[in-house]
Amino acid sequence: MKSAHAPFPLSALAALLATLSFPGLALAEDEAPAVSTKLDTVVITADRRAENIKRVPSSVTAIGGGKLEDLSAARIDDFVGLVPGLNFVGARPGNRQIVLRGISSGGDQQNATVATYIDDVPVGSSTSLAGGGRNKPDIDAFDLDRIEVLRGPQGTLYGANSLGGLLKYVTAQPDAKTFSGYGRAEVMSAAHGGNGYGLNAGLNAPLGKDAALRVSIFDRSEPGYIDNMDSEIGRSNVNKLTTRGARIAYAAKPTADFNIRASLLTQQFKTDGEPTEDISLATGQPVVGKYQQQRYTPEKGKQSFDLYSLAMDWAVGGGTLLSVTSLNDIKYVRGQDWTVYDGLGYNDPSVTLANEQDTFRTRKTTQEFRYTSAKSDAFEWMVGAFYTREKSRLFLDESGLTSQTTIAAPPYDILFTEETLSTYTQSAVYGNGRVYLTPKFDVALGLRYAKDKTAATDVGGGLFNDGSYDLSQGSSYTNFMVAPRYQLDAKTMIYARAASANRPGGPNALPASGITAGAQQIFNQDKLTSYELGYKTTALNGQLGIDLSAFYIDWKDIQIRSTVGTFAFIGNGGKAKSQGLEIALSASPVEDLQFTMNAAYTDAKLTSDALAVGGLAGEALPNSARFTAGASADYEFPAFGSARGYMGASVRHVGDRLENFVRGRGRDRLTLPAYDTLDLRAGLRWDKWDLNFYVKNATDTHIVETLTTNFSPASAAIGRPRTFGMSVTVRY
């Protein structure tokens, strides 16, 4: 990296590291009072090896299953505040874009910049032709061992779509030693909305000495809080969300050197509408009312997700050979009201309504082989091969209506249809090694080479679309990682990390007239390179943990959804950078008191013009807050008899953000206001019973999460208002 472009956060952090490395910190530890409670040791698999999180040379946040339970967490909304710089864009769960370190080109981004894994399996589509940017499962947080969030590119070990980082759900594994069960019943009520419930149950059953079965099920109905004010639909709480699912896992150890794990996860959700309110493009303020919208046709949505996986590992040659085989099938169907946007009443007064049904489906198979050497104090390494094949279908069907239940006469009965059938394949090989140059200093190196190809057929029909096209595009790419680390002492480490990642390119479904007009037939991969400097320590006799990191990111050939005339397509254009500082603290200052805090400063902006979407050099990337922060405290104490009481609180701050770029620059970009939230919790715990109470968003803050302004009516996605809840949990 040229010195002329040296990012200021790196020098700032270097000065801070020098300060923290003074002997004064060790003195403070020596003088600390001895207490029985220390921070737990957290073991994660971020680098595909089980390792203490304080030894991993990258920025990682791990949220344990116990913490998720304390938070009454159900989905990403409930733990997003625990991760520095984590955000999401979009309204409905299961149809959101996850953002880390500001790496996003906007709400209409077609492909993901953060990869999603469940255990060792990548889930969701890797391409833009199947809504890969948003159509991801929002996994229910019940019966998880932990959630790992890796910040920064993970292209060498985790492959495509990990430009900003990785969200990894690690499921609880069957235990052959103990028979156990658990159940939870929950009720909740939302301000401005309705009531809901949650039911969870699970069972772990040993099957002999070396095998076990684990089963968990859940059924959850979360209250809606948005009212559709249309005189004909006239429905309250349209964004009520119903989720249900199950997980079955089997683990066995047939021999001393061989393990097998098989699992099935299934989850479905449905909702009658989006949690959005209509806003004015001039002011950004509600035009119908807070927590209100006007939709003339239903906007129901549903998603189903099924994952089948088989993992086997053998102890071979002093190391471990792992095979992971998987199939995941994700389908998302949503309704969209296009009445105002299409204005059919002006074309034909008898056709007053328009509704579109969008269907996204991807069946993804993967196979990965990985050999990992034994742990060593000289040289550790792993090599792997990966293959995936995705078959996807995207079907758009827009119809004109004369009433809620009556389809218009031809030619307005079928206004627009488009069916895109695509096949995406990728094969990759990778290697990773760590050389221990001294007992305190080592260097990790990683490399991944991949080839992919996308082939698609697009067929259009209806009044406003016609034609059939065969499309294909392929590419190859290489990603790298270099990560030296130095152990200052037994409890303090500094590290540096340089790494890259990319997203696959693909074809655009365009007629010849679109190409003539200037639209691109294909778009290429975009690339990102990141430089990071970090510091991790445990101090005060194990009662305080500190993680600091500074990063600088170059993003080139950004994939941007563009338009030429009436033709929409994905192109490559513009460059961007993101630089910032992150801090995460964990502390147990006194016995039974746990405290965490995180903060992130992120400066993400274009460094060259992206005129196709109305972006100019120097403008902030969409939906990226310069400053975010969160803190959480929990205290447990003797109550009465054998009961122990607990109480806790979490706060979160999200700074103001800018909406998507405005095509044509016909107006200024709207600002999403900053907001603060407060969550409270308290309860009692016995040996086998828990009684829990909580209030989420206790101050009833009106939260604007994201804006959609490319279509009419413009809308704002509104976060959950104040919600009261109570749950009872039993274990045996």
The pLDDT of residue 588: 93
Residue 37 has pLDDT above 60, yes or no: no
| pLDDT confidence tier of residue 562, bands split at 50, 70 and 90 | confident
State mean pLDDT over 340-365: 90
Residue 6 has pLDDT above 80, yes or no: no
State mean pLDDT over 450-477: 87
Share above pLDDT 90 across residues of the chain, in percent, rounded to a whole number: 70
Mean of the per-residue pLDDT values of the chain: 90
| Predicted structure pTM score | 0.92
59-81: per-residue pLDDT in tens? 999 999 999 999 999 999 999 99
The pLDDT of residue 286: 94
State mean pLDDT over 545-560: 95
The pLDDT of residue 1: 40
The pLDDT of residue 463: 86
Class of domain 3-343+351-399+431-731: mainly beta
Give residue for tokens 């950078």.
Answer: 577
Residue 257: CB atoms within 10 Å: 11
What is the rounded radius of gyration, in angstroms, for the C-alpha atoms of the chain?
Answer: 26
Residue 503: CB atoms within 10 Å: 31
The Cα 238–Cα 274 span in angstroms is 7
Q: Report how far apart, in Å, the C-alpha atoms of 394 and of each of 95, 293, 692 are.
A: 14, 27, 43
| pLDDT confidence tier of residue 613, bands split at 50, 70 and 90 | confident
The pLDDT of residue 511: 74
242-274: per-residue pLDDT in tens? 999 999 999 999 999 999 999 999 999 999 999
The pLDDT of residue 4: 40
Q: Report how far apart, in Å, the C-alpha atoms of 270 and of each of 265, 300, 331, 481, 503 are.
A: 17, 7, 12, 41, 30
395-418: per-residue pLDDT in tens? 999 999 999 889 999 999 999 899
Share above pLDDT 70 across residues of the chain, in percent, rounded to a whole number: 95
CA dihedral 659, 661, 666, 667 (to 10 degrees): 30
The Cα 538–Cα 203 span in angstroms is 36
State mean pLDDT over 635-650: 94
Question: What pairs with residue 591 in β-bridges?
Answer: none
Residue 667: CB atoms within 10 Å: 11
- Distance between alpha carbon 286 and the CA centroid of its chain, in Å? 28
192-214: per-residue pLDDT in tens? 999 999 999 999 999 989 999 99
| pLDDT confidence tier of residue 225, bands split at 50, 70 and 90 | very high
Look at 711 and 522; give whichever has higher pLDDT: 522
The pLDDT of residue 95: 82
Burial 425-463 (b: 16+ CB within 10 A, else e): ebbbebebebeeeeeeebbbbbbbebebbbbbebbbebb
Which pair of tokens denotes residue 527?
């690339």
The pLDDT of residue 465: 77
Burial 46-73 (b: 16+ CB within 10 A, else e): bbbbebebbebbbbbbbbebebbbbbbb
State mean pLDDT over 379-390: 96
Residue 625 has pLDDT above 90, yes or no: yes
Residue 20 has pLDDT above 50, yes or no: no
92-144: per-residue pLDDT in tens? 888 888 999 999 988 778 889 999 999 999 998 888 888 887 788 889 998 99
DSSP letter, residue 90: -
Residue 510 has pLDDT above 50, yes or no: yes
Q: How many CA atoms within 13 Å lie on the side-chain side of 688?
A: 7
